[in-house]
Amino acid sequence: MGNNKVKVWLPLMFSVVMVLGMIIGYQLRDKTQGSRFLTINKRTALQELVELIRNKYVDPVKVDSITQVTADELLSRLDPHSVYIPAKDLMEVNEELMGNFQGIGVEFQLLNDTVHVMNVMKGGPSEKAGIMVGDRLIKVDDSIVIAGKKIKPDDVRAILRGPAESKVQVNILRGQEEKKVTIQRGVIPVPTVDVSYMITPETGFIRINRFGEPTYEEFMQQLEKLQALGMKELILDLRGNGGGLLKEATDIADEFLDGDKLIVYTEGEHVPKMEYRCKRDGLFEKGKLVVLVDETSASASEVLSGALQDWDRATIIGRRSFGKGLVQQQFQLSDGSAVRLTIARYFTPLGRSIQKAYDKGKSKYEEELVNRWHNGELVKADTVKPSGKSYKTPGGKIVYGGGGITPDMFVPYDTSKLDTALTAMYYKSTMNNFVYRLYLQDAQKFKSFKTPDDLYKQFNPGETEWKQLVDFAAKDSIRLNGASSKDKTLLLKTIQLMMARQIWRTQGYYEVQNKTDQTIKKALEVLQ
């Protein structure tokens, strides 16, 4: 009974105190680290309540759990994107935006309670120490045994990560030989540009997976590289890009737009209107440009694609984007936790608000993408019916606000991705583990392929690989014997794709995938 009463009125009490805190708060930084709230000497009702529960309640209660519950409850009633970040999770959350973390530079997988090294970062700490793909990690620092235990991936990461320049000793098993290796940890970059290459002799391709602190710099390096190779036109892929830092997106937009054109503006109840305009001559203001988006392109992705669409600078191809037009700022709290609070809305140059409705609650908001599938919007262009206000671009094109960026050219969702067996194989990492073992079986052959194009032309999985896959999947309780010819073809193609990833990471994966991608095909047709 006591617990129920606390659940009912504690969120309300917390909301009152939080709102007061917001009013007197101040902002220091708009990227990853936000400000702390001003301290108040007088104790609040919430502080008194927490102290009462801690000192008088009948059962032990963790104060952290009270804060988490009340914060989540309050923020969920504001908008879908304001979020509380516990202190224990803050570093990991910020690392995603910073674009790096401190560790040893390996990708691993747990197979049969053993940590297998799936990939080693080129030039990273582990490669310098001699770690190789296929090594199995047995022990760390002579005392922490990690082989043969029901250990979780997060626990392995916690053990292996640490401050740059610090050292960690690992015992590895290579074949049947055990070795002891000392690795000096370093700063491990997490690229935000997945792939960049010349897809035709005059057409460049760049894919950005998110907008973090290094994104603009990474993008410029790749853009200059492609221009040196003779690029005259560009395909910019923002599919699956959930957003990130607004400044990175506006800086990239500046490279495509001329003059002092408006890129985006933001405005909120307590935040004055702020305009982001072009500041410099861009490197690619004249060449043909295509931008790819889909239903998971959000926030900063929509800022970039919206600006280019409003100014008739690019042809947008794909499916309607997510529809997130809210700006968050991170505020540091006194206990080491943080709040990412929505402080403003953003508007495209024509004044479009891209934010979709969220007045029916967070659950309905999150179901909106599922509803797009059920109403046929993801597979049929004629079901896409913009409901927001219309606007006219300088070139006379009609665009809409109120729910994402509607592309200029529609490409349906590939329904083959919904195959149950294939989904299960990704969920259980079955395909990834199978390809890893296949690579180890004939590493010399796969190392002989110099480029992803070589692999695409020379490695075409057939009956031999299919039989091996059927047997391997059965160990994960996935039955492929009755697979249709269509599913079989798709799975064999996936082996080729995952092998490209095994060898060249995302660069190889997308170079091979793009050869049969229907959206890429449409983009190339537009650029002809």
Q: At a CB cut-off of 8 Å and minimum separation 6, what does 294 contact? A: 239, 240, 318, 319, 321, 413
Q: In the numeric block, which tokens belong to residue 424?
A: 């299960």
SS3 407: coil
Of 381, 238, 412, nearest to 316 (Cα)? 238
CA distance 496 to 118: 17
Of 442, 414, 428, nearest to 499 (Cα)? 442
Q: In the numeric block, which tokens belong to residue 394?
A: 């300088």
Instruction: Quote the DSSP letter at residue 38.
Output: P
Of 62, 104, 58, 54, nearest to 86 (Cα)? 62
Helix (H) or strand (E) holding 50: helix 45-56
Nearest 5°: the CA angle 212, 214, 216 is 95
302 close to 352: Cβ distance less than 8 angstroms: no
In the set 126, 297, 299, 321, the catalytic residue is: 299
Is 310 in the active site?
yes
CA distances from 84 to 39, 64, 69, 174 (A): 19, 12, 10, 44
CA distance 352 to 355: 9
**Cα(first)–Cα(last) distance of the chain, in Å?**
70
CA distance 367 to 372: 9
Q: In the numeric block, which tokens belong to residue 428?
A: 């259980």
Angle between helices 63-76 and 2-24 (to 10 degrees): 70
465 close to 495: Cβ distance less than 8 angstroms: yes
SS3 87: helix
Q: How many CB atoms lie within 10 A of CB 249?
A: 30
Q: In the numeric block, which tokens belong to residue 402?
A: 């109120």
Helix (H) or strand (E) holding 116: strand 114-120
Is 143 in the active site?
no
Of 241, 254, 252, 264, nearest to 216 (Cα)? 252
CA distance 248 to 270: 24
206 close to 223: Cβ distance less than 8 angstroms: yes
Of 505, 513, 463, nearest to 488 (Cα)? 463
Is 324 in the active site?
yes
In the set 194, 310, 321, 353, the catalytic residue is: 310
CA distance 250 to 304: 7
In the set 196, 324, 337, 353, the catalytic residue is: 324
Q: At a CB cut-off of 8 Å and minimum separation 6, what does 224 contact? A: 283
Active site (catalytic) residues? 299, 310, 324
